[in-house]
């Protein structure tokens, strides 16, 4: 792969080159890692002079909340306003096979063909470390290609929200009114990391549903007062309809308000702290890869597996044996 050619294509915003670059930084193949590091180093040099900073927004929500519909509506409004929008959709992967649904281009059909938008479904491959590495680096590629708004859609399950919240400027949580108890299924942890909350499917053509959405928004606003300190940013709770596009612009206005509250210094400080956390994520990811490719580990892993399944070894002893095999690879002479 010609690095200079790839860099030139990214800087010119050529979609094929952008796709190739993201494929490269997502790859776990050892032969691709050195090239990916060189590419990202060059892109980081470009980013030092880039103004203004791109807007990075993480979007998550309860199952069935309509994340993709909302993102398509928001993306259309942003591109109409002159923005270039990149969407990184972290899809659920099979823990058993590593396969991924990757259906977001189908669900965002109009945005997928919009020349000012770029949608990239990225399989999580069952590892949050993989999500952190691939998604953070894909954002760098998109920003270098001139995309000034990056939307990251999460799997929406468990720890993935925390992972994505740690790589964006603003974390937007979408929820629904029709969940019986409005707070049911919404963990306290989500309320603690959300910067903006929107109750979706508040369609003005259905007055009853719109009233329910406003009621849910009031209840969530009350819950937030219990989990947030008085000196912290108070996440606004708004209603919208991703399907009709109603009040989606108000949601975006709240994202912009949160960004203004951070200020440039706060935004730079937040990104610096994220880079520190990302560094350790890269270290853990690299150690995981080295462990998996260790010849010493491969030599003993079948025996260790058999001994574990047969009850001859406990998990701590099995772990010690695998680590000893890994350390043996690196022993001098």
User: Using one digit for the tens of pLDDT, what is the confidence trace for 74-115?
Assistant: 999 999 999 999 999 876 553 333 444 444 555 688 898 999
CA distance 232 to 216: 22
pLDDT in tens, 123-140: 555 455 566 778 889 999
Question: Which segments of the chain are extended strands (E)?
Answer: 55-61, 85-91, 117-123, 149-153, 170-175, 196-199, 237-239
Q: Find the helix packing angle between 248-293 and 67-80, rounded to 10°.
A: 120
For residue 153, what are the β-bridge partners? 59, 89
Cis peptide before 52 (omega within 30 of 0): yes
pLDDT in tens, 16-50: 999 999 999 888 777 888 899 999 999 988 887 78
Mean pLDDT of the chain: 85
Q: Is 311 left (phi over 0), alpha (psi -120 to 50) or beta?
A: left
CA distance 241 to 233: 25
Residues with Cβ within 8 Å of 327's Cβ and at least 6 positions away in sequence, in order, are: 296
């Amino acid at each position: 792969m010609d690095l200079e050619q790839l860099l030139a294509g990214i800087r010119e915003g050529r979609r094929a080159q952008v796709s190739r670059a993201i494929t490269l930084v997502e790859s776990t193949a050892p032969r691709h890692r050195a090239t990916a590091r060189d590419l990202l180093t060059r892109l980081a040099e470009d980013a030092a002079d880039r103004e203004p900073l791109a807007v990075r927004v993480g979007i998550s929500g309860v199952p069935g909340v309509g994340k993709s519909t909302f993102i398509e509506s928001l993306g259309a409004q942003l591109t109409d306003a002159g923005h270039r929008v990149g969407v990184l959709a972290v899809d659920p992967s099979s823990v058993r096979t590593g396969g991924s649904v990757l259906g977001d281009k189908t669900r965002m059909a109009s945005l997928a063909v919009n020349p000012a938008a770029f949608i990239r479904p990225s399989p999580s491959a069952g590892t949050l470390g993989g999500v952190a590495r691939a998604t953070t680096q894909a954002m760098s590629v998109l920003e270098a290609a001139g995309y000034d708004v990056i939307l990251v859609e999460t799997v929406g399950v468990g720890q993935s929200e925390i992972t994505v919240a740690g790589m964006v400027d603003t974390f937007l949580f979408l929820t629904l009114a029709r969940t019986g108890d409005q707070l049911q299924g919404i963990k306290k942890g989500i309320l603690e990391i959300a910067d903006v909350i929107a109750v979706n499917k508040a369609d003005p053509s259905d007055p009853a549903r719109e009233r329910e959405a406003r009621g849910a928004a009031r209840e969530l606003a009350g819950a937030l007062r219990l989990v947030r300190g008085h000196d912290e940013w108070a996440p606004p709770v708004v209603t919208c309809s991703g399907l009709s596009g109603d009040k989606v612009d108000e949601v975006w206005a709240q994202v912009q308000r949160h960004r203004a509250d951070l200020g440039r210094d706060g935004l730079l400080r937040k990104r610096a702290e994220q880079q520190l956390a990302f560094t350790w994520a890269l270290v853990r990811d690299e150690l995981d890869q080295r462990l998996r490719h260790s010849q010493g580990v491969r030599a003993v892993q079948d025996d260790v597996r058999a001994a574990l399944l047969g009850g001859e070894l406990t998990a701590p002893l099995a772990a010690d044996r695998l680590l000893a095999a890994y350390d043996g690879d690196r022993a001098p002479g």
